[in-house]
Amino acid sequence: MENIRRYLYQNKIKTLIVFLLQILMWGMQVIVQFFAIKTFDGAIRLDIQHFLKWISISFAGWLAYYLICMLESYFRAMAVKSMNNDLRKDFYETIYNGDIKNFGGEKRAEYISYITKNVDEISTLAWESVFNLVGRVAQIVWSVAALLYLDFYLFLFAVFSTLIMWFMPKIFEKRIEKIGEDNLKAQAEAMKKFKDLIYGVHILKILSAKNWYLKRGMDASEISEEAKSRKNYMTEILECTMGIVSVLMQILAEVIVVVLAFYGRIGVAVLAGAANLIGGVTNGLSNLTNAKMMIMQSKPYFEILKSTKTERVCEESFNETLTLKNISYSYDDKQILESLNLEFKKNGKYAIVGKSGRGKSTILKIIMGIIKDYEGEVLYDGRIREKALDTSMSYISQDVYLFNASIKENIVLGGDFSGMAISDALFKSSLQSDIENFKDGIDTIVGENGANISGGEKQRIAIARSLINGKDTILIDEGTSALDRENRAAIEENLLKSEDLTIIMVSHNLDENTRKLFDEIYEI
C-alpha cells in the first residue's frame, strides 16, 4: 500500500474529490432506502396521497444518486489518468537510471511491458480497487448507521457480518500475492518471445519456416495464457467463496428482519428497506474483499521501482591523459582482452584496428563505462576512475537508433542550441546537402528508427548529434561504416582536423589518406 499511497497523495485533490463523491453517492443510496420504507408504509395503509408523495421523493433521490455517480466517474477517470502518467514517469526514470548494459536485448521487451501492460494492470488492480475499497467502506458505514437507527439487533448482525467478511480473505492472502507475482514474470517472459518472433518474422518468411514460426508463437501464447488462467481461476475461487458467505449472511439477515417484525420491534414497512440495507452491508463487504484481493495482486507490479539500482555516473573528464592499465576482460568464459595497456592524450587522434572478435568495440565500451566488470584500471591523469558510465564523452556506434521524430529533434534531443551550432554540426557531419534535398528540410520526419531515410543519412544524423553537445572526447565504433567513401573521408577529415577534440576510433577499414591524420594507430 505504500506505493499506492504515494501516487494517491501526488494527486490528492482529484482523489479527495472522488472519495467525497463516493461518500455522498452511497449516502444517497441509503437515504433512498428510507424513502422506500415511507413509500411502502403508504401502500400498506392504502394512503394514496402519502404513497404518491414519497414515490416522487424516491425518484428525485435516485436521480440525485445517478447524477453523483456521473460526477464520480468523471473525476475518477481524471485521477486514474494522472496516476498512470505519474507511474509511467517513474518507470521512465527507473529505466533511464538503470545500468546501460540492460538497455538492449531481452530487457527491451521487459521495459515495453512495464510502460504498457504493467501500467494497465496497476490501473485496474491498484487505482480502481482503492477507489472501490473507499466506496464500499462508505456503503458499509452508511448501511450500518441506518440499521442502528432502525434496530440495535440489526446493527449487531451487521457488525458480525463485517467481521466474517473482513477476515475471510486473509486465508488466501499469501496465495494471491504469489500468483500475482508468477503472472507478472510469465507476462514479461511471453513479451520477450513475442518481440523476438515479430522482429524476425521477415527472415522466417524468406526461409519458409512457417511451422517453426507458429510453434514459437503458440509456445509464447501458452506461457502468457497459462499464467493468466491460474490467476483468474484463483480469483474466481475466492469470489465464489465470498459469494457463498455473502448469500448466507443475506438469508440470515432476512430471517432476522422477519423475526423482529413478528415480535413488533420494527414496523412491517421496514421490510422494504431493511433487507436492502443489510444487503448493502454484505454486498459491500463482498466487494470490499475483492478490492483488497486485487490490491494484493498489484504489489509485484511495483517491484521494479524498488529493485532497479541507479547506475553510477562519472561526469569528470581527463585534462592530459586517459590510460588503460592491465585491462583484462572475458565474456562467456572467452578471454576478449588480456593485460592491455593503452594511452590517449588530450586532443589526440587515435585509431584502434584489428580483426573481428579481438575486442576493439569492448575497449571503447570500457572507456565509456558501459562495461564495468573488467580487471585492471582506467586512469584519468594518473587517478583511478571509478567504474561508472562516463557522460563527459560522446559515443557513436555503427548501430544507430533514431526516434520517430524530425531530423532536428533527433540531433538536438530537447537541447536548446543556436542556429549556428546546428549549422556547424550539419556541416561537420556532411548532412547539410541531404537536408537540402528533403522537402521539409531539417523538419523531415525520419520514421520509426529512421525507416524513411538511408543508412548513411542515419549515421550522419548520429554524428551530428554527438558533435552538437559540446563534449570534447568522441568514441567512434565503426560510426562511418554505412557511408560511401567520399562522405566517410570528408567526415573523418573534419573530425580528425578539429584541434579541440579527442578522437578514439575503431575501424576495420582505414583510408590511407585518413591514416596520416592519426597521432597513433593501435593494432589489437
Distance CA 103, CA 119 (A): 20
Residues 428 and 281 in one domain: no
pLDDT of 64 reads 94
Mapped onto helix, strand or coil, the DSSP state of residue 11 is coil
Residues 233 and 340 in one domain: no
**If you count them, how many residues does the chain have?**
524
The domain that holds 421 is classified in CATH as 3.40.50.300
Q: How many domains does the chain have?
A: 2
pLDDT of 169 reads 67
Residues 366 and 499 in one domain: yes
The residue range of the domain holding 484 is: 314-523
HEC string of 241-291 equals HHHHHHHHHHHHHHHHHHHHHHCCCCCHHHHHHHHHHHHHHHHHHHHHHHH
pLDDT of 103 reads 62
pLDDT digits (tens, 9 = 90+) for 373-426: 889 988 888 888 877 777 788 888 877 888 888 889 888 888 888 888 888 888
Residues 191 and 322 in one domain: no
pLDDT of 131 reads 93
How many CA atoms are closer than 13 Å to the CA of 315, on its beta-carbon side?
A: 0
Of 307, 337, 366, the one marking the end of a domain is 307
CB 293 within 8 A of CB 243: no
Calculate the dihedral angle through the C-alpha atoms of 81, 86, 87, 89, rounding to the nearest 10 degrees.
130
pLDDT of 328 reads 92
| Residue 239 neighbours by CB under 8 Å, 6+ apart | 290
Of 258, 284, 307, the one marking the end of a domain is 307
Classify the C-alpha dihedral 123-126-127-129 as positive or negative. Answer: positive
pLDDT of 307 reads 60
pLDDT of 204 reads 65
Question: Which is nearest to 213 in space by CA: 190, 193, 189?
Answer: 193
CB 64 within 8 A of CB 35: no
Residues 265 and 397 in one domain: no
Displacement of CA 213 from its chain's centroid (Å):
29
Question: Which is nearest to 217 in space by CA: 186, 196, 202?
Answer: 196
Residues 518 and 462 in one domain: yes
Q: What stretches in the chain show pLDDT beneath 70?
A: 99-109, 169-170, 173, 199-208, 268-269, 272, 306-312, 315, 479, 481-483
Of 291, 307, 323, the one marking the end of a domain is 307
Distance CA 363, CA 380 (A): 15
Residues 268 and 390 in one domain: no
Residues 85 and 191 in one domain: yes
Mapped onto helix, strand or coil, the DSSP state of residue 308 is coil
pLDDT of 368 reads 86
Residues 287 and 366 in one domain: no
Q: Is 198 buried (19+), middle (13-18) or exposed (0-12) by CB count in 10 A?
A: exposed
CB 353 within 8 A of CB 522: yes
Cell 420491534 -> residue: 265
Q: Is 282 buried (19+), middle (13-18) or exposed (0-12) by CB count in 10 A?
A: buried
Residues 335 and 303 in one domain: no
Residues 114 and 65 in one domain: yes
Cell 587517478 -> residue: 383
Residues 176 and 204 in one domain: yes
